[in-house]
Chain A
């Protein structure tokens, strides 16, 4: 067949597509533009380009970073995301492998419980979860890691178990003959094999946890803010006065790492989205 739609027809299709892409980029571009304007000129004239009067350089970025505690929030978000994702990937691949290989009735029941948790909306458990987590003193940046492990386990185990089922058990059996215990054969033989799915699971969970607002807000409160919590609090404004300049800068700083992450891991992210979609 034809290699490319080079003809006039192709260009005619490209024009509306490019226009639409511009519309898709517009909101982010607008925030970027306004992050360099004085806060007095943002909500009054958001479409005006910065000029000699309104341009303030990186001033908004400095206030955003300092006063609102954004730098600390950034560190917290990063720690929680990386820590939870590590726990989820290791914990859930071990669990998924065990459930599949064991095949006992109890493990089957567990599997259905994990899968069931995927369709339950957060609002169903948020109040009681906050209570249980508080009682167990898990309301800290470290304590929230097992909470994310528990919450993310449904989707992660579902995806990983599906993959483990497709691996023949012979290699693991051979390892056992050679004297490996289950833990050794899991880390030396199984984990390298399930790595593609583990990467997918890691990416899906990272996207969710980095952007999550309500769970960290309820568990950690406003003393230990993550990035989405910081932005929500800053937007509501202390005593009704919102610093739009600092806010624009914070929005840009919140988006930048996501775009960097996407540019680096685009291939895996797209693959993850497609694999994650099959869960339906």
Chain B
């Protein structure tokens, strides 16, 4: 029956495909191409080989510093967000009173976008720091932990929802069997619950990893890189190369290609690592 289906390609696929080409495919190919060129607008590109990639590392230490900051931020975020989210999920699947309201409160920050959330958060953080006569732009340490706290606030509820869904899929008989065999609550958690929610752990660490690594809006709103670009993460550093300095567009595009490769490699590596620990019930 579908023999004649392909005649309908222009109706079903072409509009979406055209939009996809304009918004993604053509810019992506152009982006890779431009990363080997020096330009101030797309039309005056001049081939320079790998010069942009070399300049990204040599001309100033912005990119490497941003990479270090982002890596540290991401590592701390993965640990803290998932520990808190998993703990919350364990507590909120115990049929306590008021569970639904609590879940909603923990989830809510996630719905508010990065720019708004960043400014909402900055009022609190700067208000607290004002007691010591400083604000978040005072030192990179404040910026780092401020961003981590903001990230925990935004992502924990989201991950909690995924963990709750995972925990609710753990068969009750398995936990009862473990209890009959004399397993303590801790043993049941380590030997039954955690192995069975491994798929959720895979997803949540993956989502925390990519979200933290690509963070932009929150970074812009909370610190904007201050003091002196020390709290600038990779996405913001790339943005500044493109739009903040004349003659750096090519370097910005080269950084963007490296950023993409890094995100892809990290995602593949992380999925491979945690997937191998998943078990079936």
Contact = CB atoms under 8 A, between A and B. Distances in A.
Nearest to A125: B27
Contact of A228 (B109, B115, B130): B115
Interface in A212-245: 212-214, 227-228, 231-232, 235
Contact of A262 (B23, B111, B113, B114): B111
Question: Which of B91, B120, B207, B210 neighbours the largest number of chain A CB atoms within 10 Å of its CB?
Answer: B120
A147 to B, nearest CB: 5
A18 to B, nearest CB: 7
B105 A277 contact: no
B44 to A, nearest CB: 12
Interface stretch (A52-60, A63-71, A193-201, A266-274): A266-274
B24 interface: yes
Nearest to A92: B16
B123 A31 contact: yes
A97 B123 contact: no
9 contacts: A13-B94, A14-B98, A102-B5, A113-B25, A119-B210, A119-B264, A122-B216, A211-B114, A255-B120
Nearest to B150: A27
Interface in A104-163: 104, 107, 110, 113-114, 117, 119-129, 131-133, 136, 138, 146-151, 153-154, 157
Interface in A76-120: 87, 91-92, 94-95, 97-99, 101-102, 104, 107, 110, 113-114, 117, 119-120
Given A183-B8, A231-B116, A125 B127 contact: no
A258 to B, nearest CB: 5
B12 A125 contact: no
Nearest to A186: B12
A12 to B, nearest CB: 10
Contacts of A43: 126
A17 interface: yes
B16 A94 contact: yes
A124 B119 contact: no
Contacts of A4: 95-97
Interface string B29-59: 0110010000001100000000000000000
Interface in B1-35: 1-2, 5-6, 8-9, 11-13, 15-28, 30-31, 34
Contact of B13 (A95, A123, A147, A154): A95
Nearest to A234: B119
Contacts of B126: 43, 46
Nearest to B31: A128
Contacts of B206: 280
A40 interface: no
B177 interface: no
Interface of B: 1-2, 5-6, 8-9, 11-13, 15-28, 30-31, 34, 41-42, 88, 91-92, 94-98, 101-102, 104-109, 111-116, 119-121, 123-124, 126-127, 130, 153, 157-158, 161-162, 165, 172, 176, 202-204, 206-207, 210, 214, 216-217, 220-221, 234-235, 238-239, 242, 249, 252-253, 256-257, 259-260, 263-264, 267, 271
Contacts of A104: 6
Contacts of A73: none
Interface of A: 1-6, 10, 13-14, 17-18, 20-21, 24-28, 30-31, 34, 42-43, 46-47, 87, 91-92, 94-95, 97-99, 101-102, 104, 107, 110, 113-114, 117, 119-129, 131-133, 136, 138, 146-151, 153-154, 157, 172-173, 176-177, 181-183, 186, 207, 210-214, 227-228, 231-232, 235, 247-248, 251, 254-255, 258-259, 261-262, 266, 269-270, 273-274, 277-278, 280
Contact of A270 (B121, B161, B249): B161
Which secondary structure dominates where chain A touches chain B?
Answer: helix
Contacts of B102: 17-18, 21
Contacts of B162: 273-274, 277
A27 B124 contact: yes
A241 B62 CA distance: 29
A150 B21 contact: yes
Contact of A127 (B22, B153, B242): B242
B169 to A, nearest CB: 11
A23 B267 CA distance: 32
Contacts of B107: 270
A94 B260 contact: no
B25 A46 contact: no
B19 A146 contact: yes
B20 A153 contact: yes
**In the complex, which of the residues A21, A258, A280 has the most CB atoms of chain B within 10 Å of its own CB atom?**
A280
**Which 4 A-B pairs rank lowest in CB-CB distance, beginning with the nearest?**
A211-B113, A150-B23, A46-B127, A150-B19
Contact of A124 (B17, B41, B42, B260): B260
A124 B259 contact: yes
B140 to A, nearest CB: 21
B161 A232 contact: no
B127 to A, nearest CB: 4
B19 A121 contact: no
Nearest to B9: A98
